[in-house]
Structure 1
């Protein structure tokens, strides 16, 4: 008789409490006996504490977090040698190339978007726990392009390093064709603040219009 397989231990890291609760409920429903959610965390420091305490098999990790982001969580846990067996699966609303590539370079074993279904997420967690790399289909192309040289990752990083986290969010939405009012609603900021960030983005990237910004972002696979 084969030995029973232990559930995959999980820590969920996301700064939105409602989303964490939803993921936990879904995993506990469709993944009963397959995954075991041990803890949740809302920012970088909470995530590091949870991973250190629980030593989970897999961390479901959002890319953008208060305190430094998902890459900072992986960097600090690894530097401390706190949980060397833990693997990281990015679960993010962002499907931008710089987020995907940066997160994989930071140590994640996979990257899926929040449109994933519950059963698909359980399967992705199992595969990452077993050592596989898992990506949503479109995102796998970004990683392959980066390794093949089709995307100049160094150049992308250098350009984006000039922008703050909020400026990157505004840049991406504007480049995708959002109006200032729509960006303000999406990011819960004022239209005036959007205008200020947009001016800063154009100045830092040495661009003169949103048309040029869209072309710039498209050339770098950031849309």
Structure 2
């Protein structure tokens, strides 16, 4: 890793972004900022920073069932596999913490943290560690305990799907369009549609958004 860590700050309040930029350690370089979901996806893909400081609640999302921060993660994380995401939010609600961690964030700290604390968290996450504000760690431990059961059950659920259905499931969950899946697997779009219907029925899901959440929670992507 380079001596200087590169960071993108994603938050819909410009004053907060400016203040955070000024408070971060000198070894951390802010290479981009964004105020909503679309601009966050664009700047992260363009700059490929070591760490993204990501607000949980962002405007501009297209899926009302997930937070803006979680949507950013789901849309861009696979394009920047070496980038780590650290959630930074005023919210300390369990559902916000668990939702963004399940989407792929490596840590979650509240905005009451000092510049020095945020800097240390950035450095830790960049190094591969997970970082949480102390009072939020219990939420993650509780969720992880539940996830162990989910992961064990995932093998049984996958056994319901044929090998081809599993291939289609993973591509659809990653956001591929039917035509893109068809081209990748050398099958027709109509066949893809048939496989998707079968997958949703077997897993008792109702939409591709639910399928993405199901696959992400079980670390199948």
TM-score, reference length from structure 1: 0.61
Q: How does 1:1-16 map to 2 (within 5 A)?
A: 5-16=2-13
Match of 2:34 among 41, 44, 50: 41
Residue range with higher mean Cα deviation, 86-95 or 67-76? 67-76
Equivalent residue, structure 1, for 2:70 = 71
Q: How far apart are residue 84 of structure 1 and its match?
A: 1.4
Separation in 1 of the partners of 2:35 and 2:115? 21
2:79 match: secondary structure: coil
Separation in 1 of the partners of 2:95 and 2:76? 22
Equivalent residue, structure 2, for 1:218 = none
Equivalent residue, structure 2, for 1:220 = none
Residues 132-167 of structure 1, C-alpha deviations (whole Å, 9 max, x = no match): 0000001001111122249xx9xxxxxxxxxxxxxx
Separation in 2 of the partners of 1:93 and 1:107? 19
TM-score, reference length from structure 2: 0.62
**149 and 52 in structure 1: CA distance in 2 versus 1, 3 angstrom threshold:** closer
| CA RMSD of superposed structures (Å) | 2.0
Aligned length: 143
Q: How does 1:34-183 map to 2 (within 5 A)?
A: 34-68=27-61, 69-78=68-77, 81-149=78-146
Separation in 2 of the partners of 1:5 and 1:54? 15
2:92 match: secondary structure: coil
Separation in 2 of the partners of 1:7 and 1:24? 14
Residues 91-124 of structure 1, C-alpha deviations (whole Å, 9 max, x = no match): 0000000000001000000000000011111100
Residues 10-69 of structure 1, C-alpha deviations (whole Å, 9 max, x = no match): 000000111111111111xxx11x111001000001101110110000000000000220
Equivalent residue, structure 2, for 1:181 = none
Separation in 1 of the partners of 2:72 and 2:103? 9
Separation in 2 of the partners of 1:89 and 1:143? 14
